[in-house]
Structure 1
């Protein structure tokens, strides 16, 4: 019968004909009949090894499956049946596709259990697997950073401990109440400095010096000096306490910090020393040029704003879409400016003097700005203008949706990763408090580093195997059962 297994045939030499063997497997309650002709296509897999395991006795059988019924000759596996339905396709189609909704990491573990090589996984599914691996690596990195902050190395001298304390105080607002206060103060100083810079340009708030020049009000100048003093102190403390000073100096946000405070000191030096070195007019021009660079401090807000950081990342991930936008606009600007110049030549009062000059008209038209300084006067020119701004609207609207999707995807991903890291830490504390063992004895010590002393709770802390299951926190091999879920 098709649904029952039969004893294997024996050839003239007494060896089994594996192609005629029929086995029954029960994976998570789902029974399936498999044939040796198909299984032997990949002899290194676990299912193919079941064909010859009966002759090896029960030890061999139970090394391959969870249970075995000799009456029904049925092999039992406590595995995910949905994943098994995907994996079994390799024996019929030579490749594997993951079903939607299956965790890629769990599916990878299932493939390893059934001894199926990852090279048979389709490329589209490998992409999902690599994305999930990156997420788990990010979660593990965040958990490790938090655990590192909680650890105290007794071998460190007082300066090292003080340096670490200052670093957490200046860089990690979530580490303590004092760190949060400093982060709020830094945010307020950035806002105050930006407002003062704007107010200093209002003529009514300026005063006239002895030489008849309009300069900033002394009160605003004093507030600016206080803000620069705070920015300088903050940068110096962060530089001194940085564990990697080279990386700190070349970091983009730290370069912004330098550009925010450097113009103040350079202009101060030029003001006091420039009169003897060059004409006062040139010094004043240099000072004004440097003072304009103070606008760079507004970018310091990105250090305290998750939204601005997310926007920056979304734009970095959207270079392809932005490139397409610029390409569409460049082609449209060249075409419509040339057409506009040609069509307007018949009018005696034309404003289109040359094609390069028409580029400006095409730019402000396609971007729907329309200053009105250059405009067509002929009928054909007006039709060309109408066509150009319609094409401009379409060209700008096309890449907007992918850019928004990149922003939303990254923002949601960061929230999920943050929640997952907190969830993992909570489970670690829970396992520690209940005295449960979630991992090997020295896993956390290996993670934190050798020779360190940890707080009392962290010394008892065990790595948990939660639904997120961070493999990087454990060197052991663990496989999920079908009863375990994955978030």
Structure 2
């Protein structure tokens, strides 16, 4: 009777005010007494709707909760109690903070279930949510790429299938044995071309042409031509088979490929046709300058090296730290070069002729290189030099730790994403083998959005309801229960 007195029935005239109503909710075994005065601050939420659901009958009640005890007048929810403790803070403080250890995606699911807008989530917690969503999108992208590599769509024409086959052959070494062989060959050609470029500068391996100038040995020149032929064929095949040719052309690594190939053909044109339009000396100088550009092909190694790609990304993420390093060095170079110039003016044999000339001395001193071509001769100048290289060591050492952290974080993240993508594929195969039904619509059609092409064989797979693909594989709302802990 006591519990019934706390939950009076609301008549059609609204004689009982919602603010005076108390409700009991049981979330994952944790009971909580909530008051209408607090819940009505956000009437669109699920908890606020519970206040008026008693007058709507059992259909209305069970549309809002998992179970209901009319004797105790208690609402039951099979949800995460830890997340619920965070979510009810909105009724008291007007904002929500996510506890440490709760998966951001799972917490977002809980907020959607309780019909609480994400705008009430504090900014510090939204950062974790956005990072997690980016990770899940990356996992979904990797899974889709793997699925695309495993089969062909029979509905596509022969050219489309051939195009996809060539693209996998040239761009995805892990897709087949032939692709791995081509990747190894490409790597060897890059090494051979780089070695030939270095050997061609050794005077003992050069020969004299008809004009008496030293040129590369014909054998080395032939090897270079063969390497350029391979690079050209590789680039053309990748361009033809590329699914997005505009993105392919403006990609940084592909621009490097063009710069590695183009000097050979330009120098070839200048050698045969340039002599008619300009002096032979100018042609030879232009050819020599273009041949130096061959060093760009060493950057092609980044295409086959995960370590170089990780280092590039770490440096890109560390632009702020690198900018601070350059600023510290620039200030130090200006200050110590000016001091060095001033202190060395009293010496008759000073090597500091001007402040701009002293910049070189400050650079090699602060970076602890110390060529010794310019050095101080006075006592004050030597003290200034000692101070400058000590400050240089400190300035260089300061941003090293953040850069290393960025490198390790990105490297570990890539390994985790790769493992997660393989785990998702294993789960999809498991569900397919057991005949379990997974996602909605056509299994994989919601993986990366509607309207995209997918392999026909993949229609036989069933989407797993693992943590990763709850939102990425289906438009339906699959909510986790409190028994499904986030791993």
1:111: how far off? 0.5
1:358: how far off? 1.0
Q: 1:291 to 1:77 in 2, by over 3 A?
A: same
Q: 1:116 to 1:448 in 2, by over 3 A?
A: closer
1:2: how far off? 12
* Contact 2:3/2:72 (<8 A) preserved: no
* Contact 2:9/2:54 (<8 A) preserved: no
1:204: how far off? 2.3
1:449: how far off? 9.2
1:456: how far off? 7.3
Pairing 1:346–2:335 present: no
Q: Distance in 2 between matches of 1:18 and 1:433?
A: 53
* Contact 1:325/1:399 (<8 A) preserved: yes
* Contact 2:470/2:478 (<8 A) preserved: no
Q: 1:93 to 1:217 in 2, by over 3 A?
A: same
1:209: how far off? 3.2
Q: 1:8 to 1:177 in 2, by over 3 A?
A: same
CA deviation profile, 1:382-421 (whole Å, cap 9, x unmatched): 1211111111111111111111121112111211222212
1:155: how far off? 4.1
Q: Distance in 2 between matches of 1:174 and 1:244?
A: 21
Q: TM-score, normalised by structure 2?
A: 0.94
Output the aligned Cα RMSD. 2.5
Q: Distance in 2 between matches of 1:9 and 1:449?
A: 47
1:338: how far off? 1.1
Matches within 5 A, 1:28-39: 28-39=28-39
* Contact 2:154/2:456 (<8 A) preserved: no
* Contact 2:110/2:479 (<8 A) preserved: yes
* Contact 1:151/1:454 (<8 A) preserved: no
* Contact 2:448/2:472 (<8 A) preserved: no
Q: TM-score, normalised by structure 1?
A: 0.94
Q: Distance in 2 between matches of 1:458 and 1:417?
A: 21
CA deviation profile, 1:54-74 (whole Å, cap 9, x unmatched): 222222222211112223222
1:77: how far off? 1.0
Q: Distance in 2 between matches of 1:4 and 1:94?
A: 30
Q: Distance in 2 between matches of 1:455 and 1:14?
A: 59
CA deviation profile, 1:138-160 (whole Å, cap 9, x unmatched): 11222222333345344433222
1:4: how far off? 10
| Secondary structure, counterpart of 1:198 in structure 2 | helix
Q: 1:138 to 1:293 in 2, by over 3 A?
A: same
Unpaired runs of at least 5, structure 1: none
1:444: how far off? 2.0
Q: Distance in 2 between matches of 1:464 and 1:12?
A: 47
Q: Distance in 2 between matches of 1:124 and 1:56?
A: 40
| Secondary structure, counterpart of 2:25 in structure 1 | strand
Q: 1:397 to 1:144 in 2, by over 3 A?
A: same
| Secondary structure, counterpart of 1:34 in structure 2 | strand
Matches within 5 A, 1:135-284: 135-284=135-284
| Secondary structure, counterpart of 2:445 in structure 1 | helix
Q: Distance in 1 between matches of 2:318 and 2:5?
A: 57
* Contact 1:144/1:448 (<8 A) preserved: yes
Q: 1:120 to 1:287 in 2, by over 3 A?
A: same
389-398 vs 106-115, which deviates more? 389-398
1:279: how far off? 2.6
455-464 vs 374-383, which deviates more? 455-464
1:450: how far off? 9.0
1:451: how far off? 10
CA deviation profile, 1:325-374 (whole Å, cap 9, x unmatched): 11111111111111111111111111111111111111111111111111
1:481: how far off? 0.7
